[in-house]
Structure 1
Amino acid sequence: MKCRLVDVFANQKFHGNGLTIFYDFEPLNEQEMLMLTQEMRQFESIFLSGSPGGWSARIFTMEEELEFAGHPLLGLAYHLHQLHGSATESQEWQIDLNGREVTLSSRWEDDGAFRASMSQGKPVHLKTLSYDEAAGFYEALSLSPEAGVPYPAEVITTGLPYLILPVNGHLDAIKFNVPDLSSLLASYGAKFIYVLDTGTFEGRTWDNAGKVEDIATGSAAGPAAVYLFRQGLMQRNPLTIFQGRFCGRPSEIEVLLEFDSSTISNVDVSGNVVDVADIRFNS
């Protein structure tokens, strides 16, 4: 069995969000994929199968399989480009992810950086929370509800539904004081929470127990940019979402919103990818 380690949303090794790409293996069941992800101790791993013209993938955290995620797909674009791409031309990749067709693109920049992009499609706004509804989330994170005034919390998805919880600073004050946010988030149609500083465009997110903080979250960056647009805070397009500072691995995620008249027709998330290591598992 073979896998590749890369860092996504990074300009150098050991920055950005680490990823394990499993690509040469005998058939694995769901439990075996989960065990391998737990062994590597990455926030997420991606398992690639198929061949040129027919790629499919599955993504796992250390707890479960995800229907969608951002940085694993961008890391996968790097891997596919290394094996089947061109040193001088942009490439496009179609990936079947749990029945959803995802389009990735990749290219080497003139400065030697590798750039990967992902089309997340048309965003869906699921819910705007009232002040009282949002207050429960601020309290769960040891924040005052006034931290988010004057903007509301919203649930937005481009594949994975996030509750975007706005703050004006206060990112360093967050402490979980509940054992698990899963049921509260689910009651509003959200899978995870993303706390977004509306002044600096910096975000933080965790597993729902607050035990593991994610370094850079491509699946949340799209909804975060859509949120900023909806609140009239998007000053430029594309914009950069910052994340990972509190993990000691600063990351930058670029988001481009495409429009059909005044409606967002597509969200494109991109970032740099850096190769770290090739690994072969003993049989």
Structure 2
Amino acid sequence: MKTLKYTLVDVFTNQSFGGNPLAVFHDGSGLDSKTMQQIANELNLSETAFICPPKNQQNQISLRIFTPQVELPIAGHPTIGTAFVMAYLKMLPSQDGLTEWTIEEGQGDIAVSVRKEAEKIVKVEMIQPLPVFGEILTRQALVADLLSLPKSELDTRFPIQTVSSGLPFLFVPLRSLASIREINFRTDVWERHFSNDPARQHIFTFTTETEHDDSTVHCRMFAPAMGISEDPATGAACGPLGAFLVEHNVIESSEEICSIRSEQGIEMGRPSFIDITVTRKKQQFEEVKIGGTAIVVGQGELYVP
């Protein structure tokens, strides 16, 4: 019987029971993929992360990330949450100011930074792969049906489009907070028209009406293909979201560096806040970064035969 230690954190929040929960296993070495998947299914969180030795010794760790149903090549809240745990538990040395690490994920090497002030972790950021814009979906009535909304609630000033920074999401602009609150996601429509296309399996809805004055967009994300009916905070979608907002002039910005804040999870009772920084010069995206903070809410042990 093997005993595996893990830390439970809420990510993209500074309050317990907010944000997106994550279990970070301190030592995933020696575990095979099947066992990791079984553990993720057992815990049944949006994601579970396993710290493993890096393949490249110049990097700090390798990270494997699982939803209850699938392994992901990259994800935001597991990356941010794992870096937070490593700094919090002093698994790797960090200092006041900025500490930079490189984490190996399925998508490739991910640059991560941890900012500390007076020994307190105030922010963790990751640089995501540059966004790739994909299909524009023109079947507005189908998307409205998927969300159980009138077609008039779609914000037709902007496209319904897939964007990916390693994991594709279908971005659906909505007109108002009222409309996004009224979503009733229809899995029957999703199964018939969306489930077999990896480019549009994960549905990310947003509106520029927000509940908090310092937020830019209010969001909800639905991912049945991951075994997640609704996600309280989706870091992997927020880099592409920021790129979408800038590319389609959803937000006005004349600066090369655009700062955006996403609020999510409010309808679930788990408010989450993700900071997005998009750098674009001469119409070319140069860097997309997301960040936030986290809070440790527990520690545990799991026994594996």
State the secondary structure of the residue aligned to 1:83. coil
Aligned partner (choices 128, 142, 167) of residue 136 of structure 2: 128
Deviation at 1:110, TM superposition (A): 5.7
Aligned partner (choices 234, 237, 246) of residue 229 of structure 1: 246
- C-alpha root-mean-square deviation of aligned residues, in Å? 2.2
State the secondary structure of the residue aligned to 1:56. strand
Corresponding residue for residue 213 of structure 2 = none
Deviation at 1:176, TM superposition (A): 2.2
- Is 1:213 aligned to 2:223, yes or no? no
State the secondary structure of the residue aligned to 1:179. helix
1:178, 1:213 → 2: CA distance?
Answer: 12
- Is 1:168 aligned to 2:175, yes or no? yes
Q: Which runs of 5+ in 2 are unaligned?
A: 211-216
Task: Map 1:74-223 to 2 at 5 A.
Answer: 74-81=80-87, 82-98=90-106, 100-109=108-117, 112-130=120-138, 133-148=139-154, 149-169=156-176, 170-179=179-188, 181=190, 184-185=193-194, 186-187=196-197, 189-200=199-210, 201-208=217-224, 212-223=229-240
1:48, 1:93 → 2: CA distance?
Answer: 14
State the secondary structure of the residue aligned to 2:104. strand
State the secondary structure of the residue aligned to 1:24. coil
Q: Give the partner amino acid of 2:262.
A: I
Corresponding residue for residue 18 of structure 1 = 21
1:20, 1:147 → 2: CA distance?
Answer: 37
Change in Cα spacing, 1:180 to 1:113, as seen in structure 2 (3 Å) is farther
Farther off after superposition, 236-245 or 22-31 = 22-31
CA contact (8 A) 1:182 1:208 kept: no
The TM-score with structure 1 as length reference comes to: 0.91
The TM-score with structure 2 as length reference comes to: 0.85
Deviation at 1:140, TM superposition (A): 1.3
Q: Which runs of 5+ in 1 are unaligned?
A: none
CA contact (8 A) 2:169 2:204 kept: yes
Farther off after superposition, 183-192 or 160-169 = 183-192
- Is 1:246 aligned to 2:262, yes or no? no
1:223, 1:114 → 2: CA distance?
Answer: 24
2:81, 2:267 → 1: CA distance?
Answer: 22
Deviation at 1:180, TM superposition (A): 6.1
1:23, 1:180 → 2: CA distance?
Answer: 40
Farther off after superposition, 60-69 or 169-178 = 169-178
State the secondary structure of the residue aligned to 1:238. strand
Identity, in percent, stands at 29
Farther off after superposition, 252-261 or 142-151 = 142-151
Deviation at 1:111, TM superposition (A): 9.7
State the secondary structure of the residue aligned to 1:206. strand
1:26, 1:57 → 2: CA distance?
Answer: 10
Change in Cα spacing, 1:182 to 1:265, as seen in structure 2 (3 Å) is farther
1:189, 1:212 → 2: CA distance?
Answer: 18
